[in-house]
Amino acid sequence: VVAGEDVPPFANSAMDGYAVRAADTVSAPVRLDVVGTTAAGEPPGVAVGRGQAVRIMTGAPVPPGADAVVMVERTRSAPDGAVVVEVAAAPGDHVRGAGDDLRTGQAVFPPGTVLSPGHLGVLASLGCEEVAVVPRARVGVLSTGDELVAGGGPLQPGQIRDSNRPTLLALAAGAGCAAVDLGLVGDDEDALAAAVERGAAGCDALITSGGVSVGDFDYVKAVLDRLGRMQWWQVAVRPAKPLAFGVVGTTPVFGLPGNPVSSMVSFELFARPALRRMMGHTDLDRPRVAAVADEDLRRSPDGKLHLVRVVATVAGDGRWHVRPSGGQGSHLLHAMALANALAAVPDGTGVEAGATVETWLLRSGQDEDYLRSP
C-alpha cells in the first residue's frame, strides 16, 4: 500500500484556542484583535495579519498567515473582541502539519502485513477502500474412528465422543483459516477415501485425526497413498509421534494422530506453520521464550523431545515462569486445555526446579483468536 494523499490532508489545529503569528507573541502577554472563528470541517477562513488572531477549534484548518496555535487556557478575552495571549508561542506550536502521519507516495504497509484494527484505520484515513489480500486457506477437518460419536447423545459400550474435530476446527480458525467441518468417518478404507477425495476437492488443505498409527484399522496412510503421494514419520517428539502427510491433487493433507493431546500438539508443530505459510505469512512459529521451571520437569531418556503442557506466566521478577498444567498423558485433554504453553524438555533426565527451559507460548490470557468462528 502506497499513500495516495497526505494524512492529515492539511495543517490543522491540535487544540481549541487562537491561531496566531508566533512573532506577534514574543513579548507576551500581548493583546491581539480577533478577526474570525474557524471550526473543524470548514475551509480555511479569514487570514491572520499582524496583531491579529483567529479563534480556532481542534481539527480546523490553520488560517493563512498563522503559524502557531495558543491553547484557550493560555488566553483571556479582552474588551472590543480582542484576546490577551499570556504566553509566547513558537512557530508550529499545536499545529499538526499536512502529511505528518503519511506523505503522498510513502510506502505504508509492505506485502504480508496482517491487517489489525489500527491498519484498517490507516487504510480508511487514506480513503483506501480495497487492498489485495491473500485469501484465508479453506481447511477441512475430518475425524476418523469407529468408536467416535458426535454430540451429547448416549454412548454405547466402547464408544467415546469426538473431541478432536471441534478442537482442530478452532485451531484452524485461530490460525486464520476458514475451517470447514467435514464430519466423522468410520474405520472403513473406501468411506475414508471418498471423504478425503471430496474434502480435498473443496479445500485448500485437509486435517484428519486418528488412523495414522500401526493399528489394524489405521487406514489414513493407505488412503493417502492410494489417492496421491504419502509420507509417514515416527517423529521423535512426545506427544505427537505418528504423522502422515499426503498431497491429494494439489491439496496437502495432514494426517494427525488420534490421541487428543497429540493431535493438538501435532497441529502446532506441523500444520499451523504450513497453513500460515500458505496464507502468505512469513512469521510462522509461536513465540519462544526462556522460562524458569517452578517445579522439577522430570523425564527419562527415550531419544525424544518432550513437550510438557505448562501454564506460563510472567512473575514479579519480570521473567517467564512455567509449571505443569496437569497430567502429561496424551489422552489428558483437560490438562492441555489448561495449558497456555509447551515447555520443550530435551532428551535426558529433565529440568530441575529453578533451571530455564525453552517454552513455546501458545496463547496469552486475553488472546481470543482461537475462539474466532470460521
Q: Which residues bind Mg ion (CB under 5 A)?
A: 145, 210-211, 258
Cβ atoms of 270 and 254 closer than 8 Å: yes
- Which of 211, 228, 252, 324 binds ligand AMP (CB under 6 A)? It is 211
Site string for ligand AMP, 100-139 (x = CB under 6 A): ----------------------------------------
- Report the nearest approach of Mg ion to the CB of residue 220 (Å): 9
Q: How far is the C-alpha of 191 from the C-alpha of 247, rounded, in Å?
A: 18
**Distance from CA of residue 104 to its chain's centroid?**
29
| CB nearer Mg ion, residue 56 or residue 220 | 220
Q: How far is the C-alpha of 262 from the C-alpha of 167, rounded, in Å?
A: 12
- Report the nearest approach of Mg ion to the CB of residue 298 (Å): 31
| CB nearer ligand AMP, residue 88 or residue 240 | 240
**Cα dist from 236 to 82, 123, 209, 241, 273, whole Å:** 82, 46, 19, 6, 18
Residue count of the chain? 374
- Which of 63, 210, 324, 350 binds ligand AMP (CB under 6 A)? It is 210
Residue 156, classed as helix, strand or coil, is coil
Q: Which does 143 bind (CB under 5 to 8 A by kind): Mg ion, ligand AMP, none?
A: ligand AMP
| CB nearer ligand AMP, residue 223 or residue 312 | 223
- Report the nearest approach of Mg ion to the CB of residue 280 (Å): 34
Count the residues of the shown chain that bind ligand AMP, applying the rule CB under 6 A. Answer: 19
Of the listed pieces 5-13, 41-49, 131-139, 161-169, which binds ligand AMP according to CB under 6 A? Answer: 161-169
Of the listed pieces 12-20, 107-115, 150-158, 206-214, which binds ligand AMP according to CB under 6 A? Answer: 206-214
Q: How far is the C-alpha of 63 from the C-alpha of 52, rounded, in Å?
A: 11
- Report the nearest approach of ligand AMP to the CB of residue 216 (Å): 10
Q: Which does 346 bind (CB under 5 to 8 A by kind): Mg ion, ligand AMP, none?
A: none
**Cα dist from 359 to 187, 292, 293, 306, whole Å:** 36, 9, 10, 11
Q: Which does 162 bind (CB under 5 to 8 A by kind): ligand AMP, Mg ion, none?
A: ligand AMP
Of the listed pieces 31-39, 74-82, 144-152, 285-293, which binds ligand AMP according to CB under 6 A? Answer: 144-152
Name all contacts of 367-371 with Cβ < 8 Å and 24+ positions apart.
369/174, 370/170, 370/171, 370/173, 370/174, 371/170, 371/174
Q: Which does 209 bind (CB under 5 to 8 A by kind): ligand AMP, Mg ion, none?
A: ligand AMP
- Which of 176, 255, 260, 324 binds ligand AMP (CB under 6 A)? It is 260
- Report the nearest approach of ligand AMP to the CB of residue 172 (Å): 14
**Distance from CA of residue 57 to its chain's centroid?**
38
- Report the nearest approach of ligand AMP to the CB of residue 324 (Å): 22
Joined grid coordinates for residue 372: 474466532
Q: Which does 99 bind (CB under 5 to 8 A by kind): ligand AMP, Mg ion, none?
A: none
Q: Which residue is nearest to ligand AMP (CB)?
A: 258
Closest CA relative to residue 183, chosen from 174, 193, 195: 195
Residue found by looking up cell 491473500 in the block: 134
- Which of 75, 164, 325, 328 binds ligand AMP (CB under 6 A)? It is 164
Q: Which does 213 bind (CB under 5 to 8 A by kind): Mg ion, ligand AMP, none?
A: ligand AMP
Examine residue 324 and say whether the peptide bond preceding it is cis (omega within 30 degrees of 0): no
Q: How many helices (H) and strands (E) does the chain have?
A: 7, 24
| CB nearer Mg ion, residue 160 or residue 353 | 160
Binding of ligand AMP by 145 (CB under 6 A): yes
For every residue of 255-297, DSSP letters joined together read EE-SSHHHHHHHIIIIIHHHHHHHTT-S--SPPEEEEEESS-E
Cβ atoms of 102 and 6 closer than 8 Å: yes
- Give the interface with ligand AMP as residue ranges (CB under 6 A): 143, 145, 147-148, 160, 162-165, 209-213, 215, 257-260
